[in-house]
Amino acid sequence: MLYLLEVSQISHSKITTLSTVQLTYTEDLYKIVDSLNRTLKEDNLMFGLTLSEDNDEKAIFTIYRT
């Protein structure tokens, strides 16, 4: 699985899942997630991307409030 989360934030705050959506996986999805995490960190938002356990062609994109 591919995880793009700010681990340091996880241990210091309560995390609430705001939205989860399944997408067709492409190589560049991680760039979008990385950019969102860097840009919106100050707004207490965090974004995650994991590969689907059932289908390697699908990714699960999640938005969290920290």
Q: Residue 10's pLDDT is what?
A: 52
Q: Residue 11's pLDDT is what?
A: 53
Sign (positive/negative) of CA torsion 55, 58, 40, 32?
Answer: positive
SS3 60: strand
pLDDT digits (tens, 9 = 90+) for 3-60: 555 444 455 569 999 999 999 999 999 999 999 999 999 999 999 999 999 999 999 9
Q: Residue 8's pLDDT is what?
A: 47
Please give the order of strands across the beta sheet that includes 58-65.
16-24, 58-65, 45-51
Q: Is the pTM of this model over 0.85?
A: no
Neighbours of 49 (CB within 10 A): 22
